[in-house]
Structure 1
Amino acid sequence: MPSSVVLLLYLLAGASLGGVMLLTGIPAGPLLGAILGAGLLSISGQLEIAAWPLGTKTVLGIGIGTVIGTGINRETLEELQLLWKPALVITFTLLITGILVGLLISRFLGVEKIVALLGAAPGGTIGMSLVGAEFGVGAAVAALHAVRLITVLFLIPAIVNFLAPVGGPDALK
Structure 2
Amino acid sequence: MPPLATLLIYLLAGTCLGMLALLTGIPAAPLAGALLGAGLVSMSGQLDTAAWPAGTRTALEIGIGTVIGTGLTKASLDQLQSLWRPAILITLTLVLTGIVIGLWSSRLLGIDPRIALLGAAPGGISGMSLVGAEFGVGAAVAALHAVRLITVLLVLPVIVRLVLPLQQGSS
Question: TM-score scaled by structure 2?
Answer: 0.88
Using a 3 Å threshold, how does the CA distance of structure 1 residues 55 and 166 change in structure 2: closer, same or farther?
farther
- Which amino acid letter does the alignment assign opposite residue 56 of structure 2? T
Residue equivalent to 1:156? 156
Match of 2:21 in 1: 21
Calculate percent identity across the aligned residue pairs.
64
Task: Kindly indicate whether residue 48 of structure 2 is the aligned counterpart of residue 48 of structure 1.
Answer: yes
* Amino acid aligned to 1:103: L
**Structure holding more helix per residue:** 2
Q: Which amino acid aligns with 1:157?
A: P
Residue 116 to residue 29, structure 1, CA distance change in 2 (3 Å): same
SS at match of 2:53: coil
Larger mean Cα displacement after TM superposition, 94-103 or 49-58 = 49-58
1:3-59 deviation per Cα after TM superposition (whole angstroms, max 9, x unaligned): 111111111111111111112211111111111111111112222111112232221
Q: Distance in 2 between matches of 1:171 and 1:71?
A: 32
Q: Show the counterpart of 2:7.
A: 7
Stretch moving more, 97-106 or 56-65: 56-65
Structure 1 unpaired stretches of 5+? none
1:76 equivalent in structure 2: 76
CA deviations 1:50-82 (Å, max 9, x no partner) are: 111223222112112212212222211110101
Return the alpha-carbon distance in structure 1 between the equivalents of residues 72 and 134 of structure 2: 30
TM-score calculated relative to the size of structure 1: 0.87
Unaligned runs of 5+ in 2: none
Provide the residue aligned with 1:136 in structure 2.
Answer: 136
The range that moved more, 140-149 or 17-26, is 140-149
